[in-house]
Amino acid sequence: MRKCFSVFKYGTALLGAVFLSTALYAAEEAAPGAKGMSDEEFTPVKEVMLVKFVQMEKPYHLSVHELGSAFKEVKGVTVNLQMQDKAFPNGGGSVKTAEVKGIHDGMTIFFQVSWDDATKDSRVIAPQQFRDGVALMFPLGKVTISTEEKFSPRMGDRQKPVNLWNWKADWEVDLVAASGIDEVSSQYPGMHDDFSTNPISQTYHKGLMQSPSILAGGISAGNLFSLPNRGRVVEDLNAEGFGTLTTQDHQDVDGCSAYEHGCWTVIMHRPLNTGDTFDVQFVPGESTYFNMAVWNGDKEDRNGQKNISTQWHPLELERIAW
Protein backbone atom coordinates (compact mmCIF):
# COMPACT_ATOMS: atom_id res chain seq x y z
CA MET A 1 0.00 0.00 0.00
CA ARG A 2 2.82 2.38 0.87
CA LYS A 3 4.53 1.71 -2.47
CA CYS A 4 1.32 2.45 -4.33
CA PHE A 5 0.87 5.67 -2.39
CA SER A 6 4.49 6.64 -3.12
CA VAL A 7 4.03 6.09 -6.85
CA PHE A 8 0.79 8.09 -6.80
CA LYS A 9 2.42 10.90 -4.85
CA TYR A 10 5.42 11.27 -7.11
CA GLY A 11 3.34 10.64 -10.22
CA THR A 12 1.12 13.56 -9.21
CA ALA A 13 4.16 15.74 -8.66
CA LEU A 14 5.53 14.76 -12.07
CA LEU A 15 2.20 15.53 -13.73
CA GLY A 16 2.17 18.92 -12.00
CA ALA A 17 5.67 19.61 -13.31
CA VAL A 18 4.55 18.79 -16.83
CA PHE A 19 1.65 21.25 -16.59
CA LEU A 20 3.95 23.90 -15.11
CA SER A 21 6.47 23.33 -17.90
CA THR A 22 3.68 23.69 -20.50
CA ALA A 23 2.47 26.92 -18.90
CA LEU A 24 5.98 28.36 -18.76
CA TYR A 25 6.60 27.39 -22.37
CA ALA A 26 3.38 29.15 -23.43
CA ALA A 27 4.33 32.23 -21.43
CA GLU A 28 7.83 32.15 -22.89
CA GLU A 29 6.38 32.26 -26.41
CA ALA A 30 4.71 35.59 -25.59
CA ALA A 31 8.08 37.32 -25.25
CA PRO A 32 9.20 39.54 -28.16
CA GLY A 33 10.93 37.50 -30.84
CA ALA A 34 10.45 34.23 -28.99
CA LYS A 35 10.48 30.92 -30.83
CA GLY A 36 7.17 30.25 -32.54
CA MET A 37 6.41 33.92 -33.29
CA SER A 38 6.99 34.56 -36.99
CA ASP A 39 8.08 37.88 -38.50
CA GLU A 40 4.66 38.03 -40.16
CA GLU A 41 3.05 38.48 -36.74
CA PHE A 42 5.20 41.54 -36.13
CA THR A 43 4.34 42.98 -39.56
CA PRO A 44 1.08 44.98 -39.62
CA VAL A 45 -1.27 44.39 -42.53
CA LYS A 46 -1.01 46.94 -45.34
CA GLU A 47 -4.66 48.02 -45.44
CA VAL A 48 -5.29 51.08 -43.25
CA MET A 49 -8.70 51.53 -41.64
CA LEU A 50 -9.81 55.16 -41.85
CA VAL A 51 -11.87 56.29 -38.87
CA LYS A 52 -14.13 58.75 -40.67
CA PHE A 53 -15.16 62.11 -39.25
CA VAL A 54 -18.96 62.17 -39.10
CA GLN A 55 -21.11 64.90 -37.63
CA MET A 56 -23.43 63.22 -35.15
CA GLU A 57 -26.73 64.49 -33.81
CA LYS A 58 -26.86 65.12 -30.08
CA PRO A 59 -27.81 63.49 -27.84
CA TYR A 60 -26.51 60.14 -29.03
CA HIS A 61 -29.11 57.41 -29.37
CA LEU A 62 -27.01 54.46 -28.36
CA SER A 63 -28.53 51.54 -30.20
CA VAL A 64 -27.21 49.68 -33.23
CA HIS A 65 -30.27 50.58 -35.30
CA GLU A 66 -29.97 54.30 -34.55
CA LEU A 67 -26.16 54.53 -34.72
CA GLY A 68 -25.89 52.17 -37.67
CA SER A 69 -26.94 54.80 -40.21
CA ALA A 70 -23.74 56.75 -39.44
CA PHE A 71 -21.67 53.76 -40.66
CA LYS A 72 -23.52 53.19 -43.96
CA GLU A 73 -21.11 55.20 -46.12
CA VAL A 74 -17.99 54.17 -44.19
CA LYS A 75 -15.55 51.65 -45.68
CA GLY A 76 -14.60 48.90 -43.29
CA VAL A 77 -11.78 46.38 -43.22
CA THR A 78 -12.11 42.61 -43.18
CA VAL A 79 -10.06 41.00 -40.42
CA ASN A 80 -9.01 37.37 -40.90
CA LEU A 81 -9.31 35.23 -37.79
CA GLN A 82 -7.89 31.88 -36.71
CA MET A 83 -7.75 29.72 -33.61
CA GLN A 84 -5.64 30.87 -30.67
CA ASP A 85 -2.66 28.53 -31.00
CA LYS A 86 0.12 29.84 -28.76
CA ALA A 87 -1.14 29.68 -25.15
CA PHE A 88 -2.57 26.61 -23.43
CA PRO A 89 -5.40 25.72 -23.68
CA ASN A 90 -5.63 26.47 -27.39
CA GLY A 91 -9.03 26.93 -29.00
CA GLY A 92 -11.30 28.75 -31.41
CA GLY A 93 -11.23 28.67 -35.18
CA SER A 94 -14.96 28.64 -35.88
CA VAL A 95 -15.17 32.35 -36.83
CA LYS A 96 -13.12 33.05 -39.93
CA THR A 97 -13.59 36.81 -40.50
CA ALA A 98 -15.06 39.96 -38.98
CA GLU A 99 -15.66 43.42 -40.44
CA VAL A 100 -14.58 46.52 -38.52
CA LYS A 101 -15.59 50.14 -39.21
CA GLY A 102 -14.72 53.31 -37.31
CA ILE A 103 -16.15 56.84 -37.05
CA HIS A 104 -15.65 59.84 -34.76
CA ASP A 105 -17.31 63.21 -34.32
CA GLY A 106 -14.39 65.06 -32.76
CA MET A 107 -15.43 64.06 -29.24
CA THR A 108 -16.37 60.36 -29.28
CA ILE A 109 -15.01 57.42 -31.25
CA PHE A 110 -17.22 54.52 -32.38
CA PHE A 111 -16.17 51.11 -33.68
CA GLN A 112 -18.66 48.77 -35.35
CA VAL A 113 -17.74 45.08 -35.52
CA SER A 114 -19.84 42.53 -37.45
CA TRP A 115 -19.40 38.78 -37.87
CA ASP A 116 -21.47 35.72 -38.79
CA ASP A 117 -22.63 33.47 -35.97
CA ALA A 118 -25.27 30.78 -36.43
CA THR A 119 -26.44 30.98 -32.79
CA LYS A 120 -27.02 33.76 -30.27
CA ASP A 121 -25.34 32.83 -27.00
CA SER A 122 -26.04 35.47 -24.38
CA ARG A 123 -26.43 33.52 -21.14
CA VAL A 124 -23.79 31.87 -18.90
CA ILE A 125 -25.86 30.61 -15.99
CA ALA A 126 -25.76 26.87 -16.68
CA PRO A 127 -22.31 25.23 -16.57
CA GLN A 128 -22.60 24.19 -20.22
CA GLN A 129 -23.31 27.75 -21.42
CA PHE A 130 -20.68 30.10 -22.87
CA ARG A 131 -21.12 33.66 -24.10
CA ASP A 132 -20.53 35.26 -27.48
CA GLY A 133 -18.14 38.18 -27.31
CA VAL A 134 -15.70 40.43 -29.13
CA ALA A 135 -12.68 42.47 -28.07
CA LEU A 136 -10.69 45.26 -29.67
CA MET A 137 -7.09 45.83 -28.59
CA PHE A 138 -4.92 48.94 -28.96
CA PRO A 139 -1.27 49.63 -28.03
CA LEU A 140 -0.79 52.29 -25.38
CA GLY A 141 1.13 55.37 -26.47
CA LYS A 142 2.47 56.28 -29.88
CA VAL A 143 4.24 53.24 -31.31
CA THR A 144 5.78 51.98 -34.52
CA ILE A 145 5.32 48.27 -35.13
CA SER A 146 7.59 46.29 -37.48
CA THR A 147 9.96 43.34 -37.51
CA GLU A 148 12.58 45.73 -36.10
CA GLU A 149 10.20 47.33 -33.55
CA LYS A 150 8.49 44.16 -32.32
CA PHE A 151 5.15 44.47 -30.51
CA SER A 152 3.21 41.25 -30.05
CA PRO A 153 -0.31 41.24 -31.53
CA ARG A 154 -1.22 38.67 -28.88
CA MET A 155 -2.05 40.63 -25.70
CA GLY A 156 1.03 42.89 -25.96
CA ASP A 157 4.44 42.40 -24.35
CA ARG A 158 6.19 43.15 -21.09
CA GLN A 159 6.66 46.93 -20.90
CA LYS A 160 4.53 47.22 -24.08
CA PRO A 161 1.01 47.34 -22.62
CA VAL A 162 -2.27 47.26 -24.49
CA ASN A 163 -5.76 48.56 -23.79
CA LEU A 164 -8.60 46.12 -24.52
CA TRP A 165 -12.33 46.70 -24.93
CA ASN A 166 -14.29 43.48 -24.34
CA TRP A 167 -18.01 43.32 -25.19
CA LYS A 168 -19.90 40.42 -23.62
CA ALA A 169 -23.31 39.24 -24.84
CA ASP A 170 -24.53 38.32 -21.36
CA TRP A 171 -23.79 41.81 -20.02
CA GLU A 172 -26.26 43.09 -22.62
CA VAL A 173 -28.88 40.75 -21.09
CA ASP A 174 -27.99 41.96 -17.58
CA LEU A 175 -28.54 45.54 -18.66
CA VAL A 176 -32.27 45.00 -19.22
CA ALA A 177 -32.85 42.38 -16.49
CA ALA A 178 -35.28 43.46 -13.76
CA SER A 179 -32.74 42.81 -10.98
CA GLY A 180 -29.81 44.28 -12.94
CA ILE A 181 -28.31 40.85 -13.51
CA ASP A 182 -29.57 37.68 -15.21
CA GLU A 183 -30.58 35.51 -12.24
CA VAL A 184 -30.33 31.73 -11.94
CA SER A 185 -34.12 31.63 -11.62
CA SER A 186 -34.48 32.94 -15.18
CA GLN A 187 -32.67 29.81 -16.43
CA TYR A 188 -34.41 27.50 -13.93
CA PRO A 189 -37.84 29.03 -13.17
CA GLY A 190 -38.92 26.01 -11.10
CA MET A 191 -35.87 26.04 -8.83
CA HIS A 192 -36.31 25.38 -5.11
CA ASP A 193 -35.25 27.98 -2.53
CA ASP A 194 -34.77 26.55 0.97
CA PHE A 195 -34.75 29.96 2.63
CA SER A 196 -38.10 31.02 1.20
CA THR A 197 -39.94 27.75 1.87
CA ASN A 198 -38.49 26.56 5.19
CA PRO A 199 -41.04 27.45 7.93
CA ILE A 200 -38.43 27.00 10.68
CA SER A 201 -35.95 29.51 9.24
CA GLN A 202 -36.30 32.86 10.99
CA THR A 203 -36.23 36.11 9.02
CA TYR A 204 -32.94 37.10 10.64
CA HIS A 205 -31.17 33.92 9.59
CA LYS A 206 -32.62 34.09 6.08
CA GLY A 207 -31.32 37.64 5.61
CA LEU A 208 -27.94 36.72 7.07
CA MET A 209 -27.44 33.67 4.87
CA GLN A 210 -28.50 35.54 1.72
CA SER A 211 -26.30 38.57 2.37
CA PRO A 212 -23.46 39.32 -0.11
CA SER A 213 -20.79 39.18 2.58
CA ILE A 214 -21.74 35.58 3.44
CA LEU A 215 -22.72 33.92 0.15
CA ALA A 216 -22.04 36.34 -2.68
CA GLY A 217 -18.29 36.77 -2.50
CA GLY A 218 -18.05 38.26 -6.00
CA ILE A 219 -20.48 41.06 -5.16
CA SER A 220 -18.80 41.65 -1.81
CA ALA A 221 -15.40 41.93 -3.56
CA GLY A 222 -16.74 44.31 -6.22
CA ASN A 223 -16.09 41.85 -9.07
CA LEU A 224 -17.54 43.30 -12.30
CA PHE A 225 -18.73 39.84 -13.38
CA SER A 226 -20.86 39.52 -10.22
CA LEU A 227 -22.13 43.05 -9.70
CA PRO A 228 -25.74 43.81 -10.62
CA ASN A 229 -26.56 47.14 -12.24
CA ARG A 230 -23.04 47.60 -13.62
CA GLY A 231 -24.64 49.87 -16.26
CA ARG A 232 -22.43 48.92 -19.21
CA VAL A 233 -21.82 46.10 -21.67
CA VAL A 234 -18.09 46.53 -22.36
CA GLU A 235 -15.19 45.85 -20.00
CA ASP A 236 -12.14 48.15 -20.13
CA LEU A 237 -8.90 46.21 -19.51
CA ASN A 238 -5.11 46.23 -19.81
CA ALA A 239 -2.52 43.54 -20.50
CA GLU A 240 1.24 43.09 -20.98
CA GLY A 241 1.28 39.59 -22.46
CA PHE A 242 -0.40 36.25 -21.73
CA GLY A 243 -1.72 35.84 -18.20
CA THR A 244 -1.66 39.57 -17.33
CA LEU A 245 -5.20 40.65 -18.27
CA THR A 246 -6.45 43.14 -15.67
CA THR A 247 -9.74 45.02 -15.29
CA GLN A 248 -9.34 48.77 -14.99
CA ASP A 249 -10.53 50.51 -11.83
CA HIS A 250 -12.16 53.17 -14.01
CA GLN A 251 -14.40 51.94 -16.82
CA ASP A 252 -14.73 54.32 -19.79
CA VAL A 253 -16.02 52.17 -22.68
CA ASP A 254 -19.63 51.25 -23.42
CA GLY A 255 -21.54 49.80 -26.33
CA CYS A 256 -24.62 48.18 -27.79
CA SER A 257 -25.40 45.21 -29.99
CA ALA A 258 -27.92 43.58 -32.30
CA TYR A 259 -28.23 39.97 -33.44
CA GLU A 260 -30.14 39.57 -36.69
CA HIS A 261 -30.23 36.91 -39.43
CA GLY A 262 -27.28 34.97 -38.02
CA CYS A 263 -25.03 38.00 -37.64
CA TRP A 264 -23.79 39.98 -34.64
CA THR A 265 -23.28 43.73 -34.94
CA VAL A 266 -21.57 45.33 -31.95
CA ILE A 267 -20.79 49.03 -31.56
CA MET A 268 -18.29 50.12 -28.90
CA HIS A 269 -17.72 53.78 -28.10
CA ARG A 270 -15.66 56.00 -25.84
CA PRO A 271 -14.48 59.63 -25.64
CA LEU A 272 -11.46 60.26 -27.88
CA ASN A 273 -9.44 61.36 -24.87
CA THR A 274 -10.06 60.19 -21.31
CA GLY A 275 -6.95 61.56 -19.59
CA ASP A 276 -6.36 58.06 -18.17
CA THR A 277 -2.80 56.77 -18.64
CA PHE A 278 -4.16 53.23 -18.91
CA ASP A 279 -6.39 54.13 -21.88
CA VAL A 280 -5.47 54.51 -25.54
CA GLN A 281 -5.92 58.17 -26.52
CA PHE A 282 -7.18 59.02 -30.00
CA VAL A 283 -6.20 62.21 -31.86
CA PRO A 284 -7.81 63.25 -35.18
CA GLY A 285 -5.17 63.32 -37.90
CA GLU A 286 -2.96 60.77 -36.14
CA SER A 287 -2.67 57.00 -36.44
CA THR A 288 -2.31 53.89 -34.29
CA TYR A 289 -3.10 50.17 -34.57
CA PHE A 290 -5.79 47.74 -33.50
CA ASN A 291 -6.25 44.00 -33.23
CA MET A 292 -9.19 41.86 -32.21
CA ALA A 293 -10.65 38.56 -31.01
CA VAL A 294 -14.09 36.94 -31.23
CA TRP A 295 -15.66 34.33 -28.95
CA ASN A 296 -18.27 31.84 -30.21
CA GLY A 297 -20.19 30.56 -27.19
CA ASP A 298 -21.85 27.76 -29.15
CA LYS A 299 -18.37 26.28 -29.77
CA GLU A 300 -17.48 26.65 -26.06
CA ASP A 301 -15.07 29.55 -26.64
CA ARG A 302 -14.01 31.29 -23.45
CA ASN A 303 -10.96 33.06 -22.05
CA GLY A 304 -7.94 32.11 -24.22
CA GLN A 305 -10.01 29.74 -26.35
CA LYS A 306 -11.01 32.23 -29.03
CA ASN A 307 -10.76 33.35 -32.66
CA ILE A 308 -7.92 35.83 -33.12
CA SER A 309 -6.12 38.00 -35.64
CA THR A 310 -2.37 37.42 -35.61
CA GLN A 311 -1.41 40.78 -37.14
CA TRP A 312 -1.88 44.39 -36.13
CA HIS A 313 -4.13 46.54 -38.32
CA PRO A 314 -3.22 50.22 -38.86
CA LEU A 315 -5.93 52.81 -38.28
CA GLU A 316 -5.96 56.54 -38.93
CA LEU A 317 -8.38 59.15 -37.60
CA GLU A 318 -9.65 61.55 -40.21
CA ARG A 319 -9.11 65.22 -39.39
CA ILE A 320 -12.07 67.25 -38.16
CA ALA A 321 -13.81 69.24 -40.89
CA TRP A 322 -16.17 71.82 -39.42
Q: What is the mean pLDDT of residues 279-294?
A: 98
Confidence of residue 3 (pLDDT cuts 50, 70, 90): very low
Cα dihedral angle (88, 94, 96, 101), rounded to 10 degrees?
-90
Domain ranges (residues) in the chain: 38-181+228-317
What one-character-per-residue DSSP string does 129-178 give? ----EEEEEEESSS---SSSS---TTT-BTTB-EEEEEEEHHHHHHHHST
pTM reported for the whole predicted model:
0.82
Helix (H, G, I), strand (E, B) or coil at 14: helix
User: Would the pLDDT of 11 be above 50?
Assistant: no
How high is the mean pLDDT of the chain?
84
Q: pLDDT per residue over 17-30, tens digit each?
A: 333 334 333 443 44
Question: For residue 35, what pLDDT is reported?
Answer: 45
Nearest to 317 by CA among 98, 105, 56: 105
pLDDT of residue 59: 60
118 versus 39: the higher-pLDDT residue is 118
Q: Is the pLDDT reported for residue 207 higher than 90?
A: no
What's the CATH fold of domain 38-181+228-317? Answer: Immunoglobulin-like (2.60.40)
Q: Calculate what percentage of the chain has a pLDDT beyond 70.
A: 80
Q: Tell me what pLDDT residue 81 has.
A: 98
| The pLDDT of residue 85 is above 60 | yes
pLDDT of 176 strictly over 60? yes
DSSP letter (8 states) at residue 305:
B
User: Which residue stretches of the chain are H helix?
Assistant: 2-29, 64-67, 169-176, 184-187, 194-197, 203-209, 217-221
pLDDT tens digits, 183-206 = 777 777 777 766 666 666 656 566
Q: pLDDT at position 203, please?
A: 61
Q: What is the mean pLDDT of residues 39-62?
A: 88
Could you read off the pLDDT of 123-150 as tens digits, one per residue? 888 889 999 999 999 999 999 999 999 9
pLDDT digits (tens, 9 = 90+) for 227-268: 777 889 999 999 999 899 999 999 999 999 999 999 999 999
